[in-house]
Amino acid sequence: MNIFKFTAEFDSEESCRSHFKEERDKIGVICQKCSNTTHYWIKSQWSYECKSCRSRTSLR
């Protein structure tokens, strides 16, 4: 994807973040600290929080 296609598809930072969250949800999130696979989504922080150890993982 080049920069022109990127800006045509994502007209705002919000739409770009939403796209990356959808893709991350498809793949799944594994906690780096305890290897748990169940997480909460914290929208105000744009990150996942592990239900077990409460460690946070960003979209990146």
Q: Give the DSSP letter of residue 22.
A: H
Residues 6+ apart with CB under 8 A from 51: 36, 38, 39, 40
Q: How many CB atoms lie within 10 A of CB 31?
A: 20
Residue 1, pLDDT score: 66
Distance CA 39, CA 32 (A): 12
Backbone angles phi, psi at 48, to 5 degrees: -100, 145
Residue 33, pLDDT score: 96
Q: How confident is the model at residue 8 (pLDDT cuts 50, 70, 90)?
A: confident
Q: Give the DSSP letter of residue 12.
A: S
In this predicted model, which residue has the larger pLDDT, 38 or 4?
38
Taking only the tens place, the pLDDT of each residue in 20-58 is 999 999 999 999 999 999 999 999 999 999 999 999 998
14, pLDDT greater than 80: yes
